[in-house]
Chains A and B, each alone.
Chain A
Amino acid sequence: MNKIKFSLFFIVLCLLFSTPALAVKIEISAPGEQTIPLAITRLLPIEEPLQGLAEEFQQVLEADLDLSGLFAQVDPAAFLDDAAKLTLLSTMVDFAQWRMLGAEAVIKGGYRLQGEKLTIELRLYDVISRRLLTGRRYIGKMNDVRKIAHAFADQVLLGLTDELGPFSSRIAYISKRTGHKELYLMDVDGYKPQRLTDHRTIVLNPDFSPTRKEITFTSYKAGNPDLYRKEIYTGRESRLSLKQGLNIGGRYSPDGREVALTLSKDKNSELYLIGTDGTIHKRLTNHYGIDVDPSWSPEGTRIAFVSDRRGNPNVFIVDVHSLEVERLTFAGKYNATPAWSPKGKRIAFARLADRKFDIFSINADGSDERQLTFGAGSKEHPRWSPDGRFLVYSLDRDGEKSIWVMRADGTGARRISAAGAADSHPAWSGRW
């Protein structure tokens, strides 16, 4: 309930100027290859200073921008006196100072608290062309600081790369912290974990609807692995597919109108398409082997899946219309959990070798396979961020299960789930 209230208060007011031609622009598909020297100045009080606000904001914004791998942060210790001046107009900024420090872009901002109403003004300036790239005014409450920082981080990425960041989205996952596997939701930096189910049996493998604030998952609540759907804010929950046997691995189509899943109602696991009312629309596979783990191409015309029809588990692709099947992975002895990038080109998956999984990605045409994770522990369940820049995955190391985020090229890996708890099976939401 409170959440809805937040969102009402939390309105992005205006883009102060239209975005001019950029002096800096980089390829989004190759994070880490070319970085922009960026100065992130501390938020300044417009009226009364508030304890801790600027620090919390700074920490969230810096973590997001650092994860993006697009920036080299200019050392704040070297900042000159312009950093301490509240300059919300480009004409007031001393760009020569920032140029001298090697910064190509600078973030400046200020805050004001009036009663309950918190206003944060933010500006992203291009140092080279001395112009405003992105100007945003956020109006919310004191506990919206993190939300505002994430929203502005998204805008910074949009301003510099023409593609919005994913930092305001959510991650659903399975946690066993109550002793049972239940469905949870958290921010992309692991903040605010929130339990959504209380089934007290086994809840598995969540997926977000691309069009509604809704999650599908499998649960043994009624004594059979049935597929459920749950509206996140109303809490309304229903069984979407309850055929005898498995109803698992539900994945919404990109238009949100169908769900691909595995059913074993005919004594063998096959992929099907069902409507959002649970009726079967189409059978996608017909083979005596195991067929599981569907993942849609962003156009909704093809589905990657796992099958042991040629012996070991491997990733295959089925055409939704012609039902023709082609094999995608040939290397390794055990390839599973494919995840098709929302940008369409690459498919991430996990390969079992030497008793542990590592995450790989491969072009949808089978070329250019690359290993993304290395080192101790088993890494599984890769899922893409809505902008295709990042992957979230689960790590099982020394008996502890945790959730991590990394860039699509495997760099910048960091743990986002809290210490101690057994967390796994993340799914990244679309734009929130």
Chain B
Amino acid sequence: MQKFNITRLLVMLFVLTLFAAGCAKKPVADDAAVTEQPTEVAVIEQQPAAVVEQQVDEAAAARRAAKAAASAAKRAANNLVRVYFDFDQYTLTASAKDQLMSNAMLLKSAPAVKIQIEGHCDERGSDEYNLALGEKRALATKNYLVSLGISANRMSVISYGEEVPLDSANTEAAWAKNRRAEFKAQR
């Protein structure tokens, strides 16, 4: 009996605290505060004491292999070289085409690798226009790789416009570095 009363008192105190917390906020917040609090308490009560549970499965080896393949893919993608563009242009220069030729070779030797081609611009020009221009650069790069025999569904494109410069200096040299297409490995 005595114990029951103490429990009741504790419950009432808890409810009162909830009320106090609820009243301090705006009425709109009340529902959330009242409904969230009790579930939290329940979770704590249900937690097992000092028993550690771990998932055991037989796919670990497969996962390790996949991870190794992914890092191999990443390594392959890291060897892909950037290509550069002229101001306000998305047509590939002769040297860009040469570089894409060697990139295509790398991609052929690692047929499992999927890549994302990022199009970038220098900071001159309007940001919106540069987002569109960056996409055209990435697409021109992808299309050339396709023409060299790389499957289109191994490659996705994204434009970062002028948002991710390699060199944030305000010089011709920096701008030339920033007008580029880059290659990232994808899982």
Determine whether A355 belongs to the interface, using a CB cutoff of 8 Å to chain B.
yes
Q: Which of B49-57, B58-66, B68-76, B126-134 contacts A (4 or more CB under 8 A)?
A: B126-134
Q: Which of A93-101, A121-129, A137-145, A262-270 contacts B (4 or more CB under 8 A)?
A: A262-270
Complex partner residue of A336 from B129, B157, B158, CB under 8 angstroms = B129
B19 → A minimal CB distance (Å): 19
Contact B160 A202 (CB under 8 A): yes
Return chain A residues, CB-CB under 8 Å to B125.
313, 334, 336, 352
Determine whether A204 belongs to the interface, using a CB cutoff of 8 Å to chain B.
yes
Complex partner residue of A313 from B129, B157, B158, CB under 8 angstroms = B129
User: Which residue of B128, B159, B170 has the most chain A CB atoms within 10 A of its CB atom?
Assistant: B128
Return chain A residues, CB-CB under 8 Å to B29.
1
Q: Which of A273-307 contact B (CB under 8 A)?
A: 290-293, 306
Q: Which of A52-60, A77-85, A243-251 contacts B (4 or more CB under 8 A)?
A: A243-251
Return chain B residues, CB-CB under 8 Å to A336.
125-126, 128-129
Determine whether B139 belongs to the interface, using a CB cutoff of 8 Å to chain A.
yes
Contact A290 B163 (CB under 8 A): no
Determine whether B124 belongs to the interface, using a CB cutoff of 8 Å to chain A.
yes
Contact B163 A313 (CB under 8 A): no
Contact B132 A262 (CB under 8 A): yes
Knowing A181-B163, A202-B163, A204-B163 touch, does A245 contact B128 (C-beta < 8 A)?
no
Determine whether B182 belongs to the interface, using a CB cutoff of 8 Å to chain A.
no
Contact A293 B129 (CB under 8 A): yes
Determine whether B136 belongs to the interface, using a CB cutoff of 8 Å to chain A.
yes
Determine whether B3 belongs to the interface, using a CB cutoff of 8 Å to chain A.
no
CA distance A313 to B135 in the complex (A): 16
Determine whether A224 belongs to the interface, using a CB cutoff of 8 Å to chain B.
yes
Contact A337 B128 (CB under 8 A): yes
CA distance A225 to B127 in the complex (A): 13
B87 → A minimal CB distance (Å): 10
Contact A245 B135 (CB under 8 A): yes
Contact B131 A225 (CB under 8 A): yes
Q: Which residue of A lies closest to B28 (CB)?
A: A1
Q: Which of B1-56 contact A (CB under 8 A)?
A: 25-26, 28-29
Return chain B residues, CB-CB under 8 Å to A380.
126
Q: Which residue of B lies closest to A306 (CB)?
A: B129
Q: Which of A370-423 contact B (CB under 8 A)?
A: 380, 399
Knowing A245-B135, A399-B170 touch, does A292 contact B163 (C-beta < 8 A)?
no
Return chain B residues, CB-CB under 8 Å to A337.
126, 128
Knowing A352-B125, A355-B124, A380-B126 touch, does A1 contact B131 (C-beta < 8 A)?
no
Determine whether A134 belongs to the interface, using a CB cutoff of 8 Å to chain B.
no
Return chain A residues, CB-CB under 8 Å to B126.
292-293, 306, 313, 336-337, 350, 357, 380
Determine whether A425 belongs to the interface, using a CB cutoff of 8 Å to chain B.
yes
Contact B136 A290 (CB under 8 A): yes
Knowing A205-B127, A306-B129, A380-B126 touch, does A246 contact B170 (C-beta < 8 A)?
no
Contact B158 A269 (CB under 8 A): no
B128 → A minimal CB distance (Å): 4
- Chain A 193-226, CB-CB to B under 8 Å as 1, else 0, gives 0000000001011000000000000001001110
CA distance A268 to B129 in the complex (A): 12
User: Which residue of A245, A336, A425 has the most chain B CB atoms within 10 A of its CB atom?
Assistant: A245
Contact B136 A246 (CB under 8 A): no
Contact A262 B170 (CB under 8 A): no
CA distance A306 to B130 in the complex (A): 11
Return chain A residues, CB-CB under 8 Å to B170.
399
Contact B124 A290 (CB under 8 A): no
Per CB-CB distance, the 4 closest pairs between chain A and chain B, nearest first, are A336-B126, A269-B132, A292-B128, A290-B132
CB pairs A–B below 8 angstroms (23 shown): A1-B25, A204-B127, A204-B131, A204-B163, A205-B127, A225-B158, A245-B135, A246-B135, A249-B128, A267-B139, A268-B136, A269-B131, A269-B132, A306-B126, A306-B128, A308-B88, A308-B129, A312-B88, A313-B88, A334-B88, A336-B129, A380-B126, A399-B170
